Structure 1
Amino acid sequence: MPPTEAPPAAAGPLARTAEVVHDYFLGLLAACYALALLAPGPGAWLRSVELGARGAAGGVSLSQVLLAGLLAIAGVGIDPTRVRESLLRPLTLGGALVVKLVLPIIVVSVIAWLASFWAGWLPAEMLLGLAIVAAMPAAASCPAWTQASAGDVALALGVVVGSTLLGPWAAQFWLPGFAQAAGADPNIAHGISRAVLGSYFLLWVLLPSALGVAARVLLGPDRIARVRPALRLAGSGLLLLLIYAFAAAALSLVEVRHAGERLATALSLAGALCAAAFLAGWLLARSTRASGPTSAALVYSVGMHNNGVALLLADTVLPRESAVFLPIICYALVQHGLAGIVDALFTRAQHAAGGAPATAAPEQ
């Protein structure tokens, strides 16, 4: 997770606990993957819990509800006034959104083409998982990383909101077709099409996010500041729990001797996509001769994807034990690790230029 400002001396135990969780979040993520390999039982059980009959009207999984809650918490971190500021720079915002929406098609297609030379190396369902996470909007945590690197937070928020609104529209043109080309069941491809552009996306993605934004506006900055430690801790805890549950279920049907291999393949796929996305953000900044703050916003917002939304969409159309989930959950670890490296590079550049790095105060 992004670095955060140090808690004040009078901070309570909740704030200190939230700070510790954020400081060691990458290690906790890695521990979740290890736990999924060694003790998948509780996680697989959590994924099996249904609220109503699955497939029936009103029937949803518990993990689906928890993911919606995670999106609502992330929505509290979106400041509408900063989003409006991003609209004052339409060319920069538009360029970032175009790259964000087009890059996934290129990267996933190239990986699929390369995989075709080694039959059996890359399971089709893993390639589909990579495509799903690639089609997702910018991660809700990228504004916090942008702020940590003294970047343009308003621009990063603009890309988050813009890609969330435009992402489903863009994904409908290639993601279902790619699913079929990758060998997925036609019903799954049709389900993906309905999920990315229909009432499901409105109800389970946009509505929770909008409720979070509305809560921020109604509560005001003072109340939000008081509950922020609880929100940070809840968001981190939910994400860790869900990563463990999805990983455990996805690995539960894999032979033990192949589980590590599957996880390594998923990490490699996530690393390739993540590196390409961060590189694209950097190239966009270089080609437009962007300033330091703008460059930071472009690198993080183009490079980071919302794997929570990816899990939510995949959960509604895929079997819970599907290996499709592995690249999606691995992307969380890879993108935050790479974001930490990028932040260190930006901080070093700021020191070299004689400036002081900003102190982040993330909202989620």
Structure 2
Amino acid sequence: MAELAERIRRNFLWLLLPTYLIAYLLPGPGVYAANLQWSRGLPEAAAIRLPMLLVAVLLLNAALEVNTDALRGVFSRTRDLLISLAAVWLAPAVVVIIAGALFAFSGSEGGGGLLLGMILVAAMPVANSSAGWTQQSGGALAWALALVVLSILLSSVVTPGMIRLLGMSLSASEVNSVEEVVHRFSGVAFIVWVLAPTLLGLSIRRVVGEQPVRSIRPALHLSTSAAILGLNYLNGSLVLPKLFPLTADGPQSPEPALLIAALCGAVSLCLVGLLAAQLLTHWLKCDDRDRLALKFALSMKHTGLALGLASTVLADHPDAILLIILTTPIQHLIAGLVSKRYGVESDE
């Protein structure tokens, strides 16, 4: 099993690419599975759905492998942690400001919707799946979990403020809608699907010790890989057929200029996170595993929350929704490239 897990890790990008192709050509099972839920006697935010279960698996697996001394070490580096958290929002904000200046300089009338989409993505906390990619690539799991949990906790204050700061004009009712959606993601849903599996994994690790966890590490890595592929299939099956609908005349797509601009915006938001992580970790004198964790954390945004906000306050801006939809597969593909190029064998 250890050999299989390592082989999958080394070739994970080549599993990720066909996952999107299958999601496009055979979306039915993914759409059905993504929409299944069990909510009897549960709050709406805690309803059991397959995507959230897969997220919980990623966080549980990552927490099981976290060395508690390493976690304490992260929180003892208060300055480094605060700087890294600030970079989660400040790095993509730079891209948004530059994009806004370019749209204004070019006099483009169609750039407003894309800019709104970029603002929403930039204002998001760290994606839950960044912890899975960190584990799959041998990065520092303590850093990954700390940035996921803390950024989501802070998002209830930071995200609405960032949206207003970056110039997104909202009415009073839209501001209330933004705050309501963010609180929903950072309230019960956060406790059930992010905090609970993280604390459960840390508790199990503390009770059973390192050796039993080390013995099942290949199984953990295989289930993490399966969860990442499953999430990407579910997301792909929901969005790709809508972006590129199949007709009798073949696949249709958005206007080429719009699609290229949206792709450039989404890629830029991911790449600036990688650049920020590279510069930060050099300045903070981090090792390779810390650097990997920060690369995933700063380049992967919580696009599920962004889509929830977009459908609430930007329903009449399809260009914004297009950019957010494209950001999800792009950041996973870039994560796959980072994993293949910089991934190391885990020793957590």
Partners in 2 of 1:307 and 1:134 — Cα distance?
11
User: Which amino acid is the alignment partner of residue 179 of structure 2?
Assistant: H
* Equivalent pair of 2:16/2:336 in contact (CA under 8 Å): no
Partners in 1 of 2:278 and 2:215 — Cα distance?
36
Asked if 1:258 corresponds to 2:253, the answer is yes
Structure 2 counterpart of 1:206: 195
* Equivalent pair of 2:28/2:237 in contact (CA under 8 Å): yes
Shift of 1:211: 1.0
Structure 2 counterpart of 1:43: 30
> 1 or 2, which has the higher helix percentage?
2
* Equivalent pair of 1:138/1:306 in contact (CA under 8 Å): no
The one of 105, 108, 124 aligned to 1:118? 108
Partners in 2 of 1:237 and 1:143 — Cα distance?
13
Length-normalised TM-score, structure 1: 0.71
Change in Cα spacing, 1:35 to 1:191, as seen in structure 2 (3 Å) is farther
What is the CA deviation profile of residues 85-133 of structure 1, one whole-angstrom value per residue up to 9, with x for unaligned ones?
3345444344333333433433344445545653435646753663365
Asked if 1:29 corresponds to 2:16, the answer is yes
Partners in 1 of 2:299 and 2:34 — Cα distance?
17
What is the CA deviation profile of residues 46-99 of structure 1, one whole-angstrom value per residue up to 9, with x for unaligned ones?
222222389858544332222222222222122211112334544434433333
The one of 132, 153, 156 aligned to 1:172? 156
SS class of match (1:222):
helix
Choose 215-224 or 235-244, whichever is displaced more. 215-224
Asked if 1:282 corresponds to 2:270, the answer is no
* Equivalent pair of 1:52/1:59 in contact (CA under 8 Å): yes
Choose 268-277 or 27-36, whichever is displaced more. 268-277
Structure 1 counterpart of 2:288: 296
Choose 275-284 or 260-269, whichever is displaced more. 260-269
* Equivalent pair of 1:47/1:245 in contact (CA under 8 Å): yes
Matches within 5 A, 1:223-262: 223-254=212-243, 255=245, 256-258=251-253
Partners in 1 of 2:300 and 2:153 — Cα distance?
18
Structure 2 counterpart of 1:327: 327
SS class of match (2:297):
coil
* Equivalent pair of 2:126/2:148 in contact (CA under 8 Å): no
Choose 330-339 or 176-185, whichever is displaced more. 176-185
Shift of 1:279: 1.6
Partners in 2 of 1:202 and 1:326 — Cα distance?
28
Shift of 1:246: 0.8
Change in Cα spacing, 1:244 to 1:83, as seen in structure 2 (3 Å) is same
Matches within 5 A, 1:46-57: 46-52=33-39, 56=44
- % identity of equivalent residues: 22
Length-normalised TM-score, structure 2: 0.74
* Equivalent residues, number: 322
Choose 230-239 or 307-316, whichever is displaced more. 307-316
Runs of 5+ consecutive residues of structure 1 not aligned to the other structure: 1-13, 148-152, 345-358
Runs of 5+ consecutive residues of structure 2 not aligned to the other structure: 246-250, 312-320
Shift of 1:217: 1.9
Shift of 1:298: 5.6
Matches within 5 A, 1:1-364: 14-52=1-39, 56=44, 59-112=47-100, 114-115=102-103, 117-120=107-110, 123=114, 126-127=117-118, 130-131=121-122, 135-136=126-127, 139-140=130-131, 141-142=133-134, 145=137, 153=140, 157=142, 159-176=143-160, 178=163, 181=168, 186=174, 189-254=178-243, 255=245, 256-258=251-253, 268-286=264-282, 288=283, 290-291=284-285, 294=286, 296=288, 299-305=291-297, 310=302, 313=305, 323=322, 324-341=324-341, 343=342, 360-361=345-346
* Equivalent pair of 2:182/2:305 in contact (CA under 8 Å): no
User: Which amino acid is the alignment partner of residue 233 of structure 2?
Assistant: Y
Shift of 1:258: 0.8
Shift of 1:300: 2.9
* Equivalent pair of 2:296/2:335 in contact (CA under 8 Å): yes
* Equivalent pair of 1:126/1:327 in contact (CA under 8 Å): no
Partners in 1 of 2:25 and 2:210 — Cα distance?
43
SS class of match (1:95):
helix
Partners in 1 of 2:136 and 2:227 — Cα distance?
18
Structure 2 counterpart of 1:3: none
User: Which amino acid is the alignment partner of residue 360 of structure 1?
Assistant: E
SS class of match (2:110):
coil
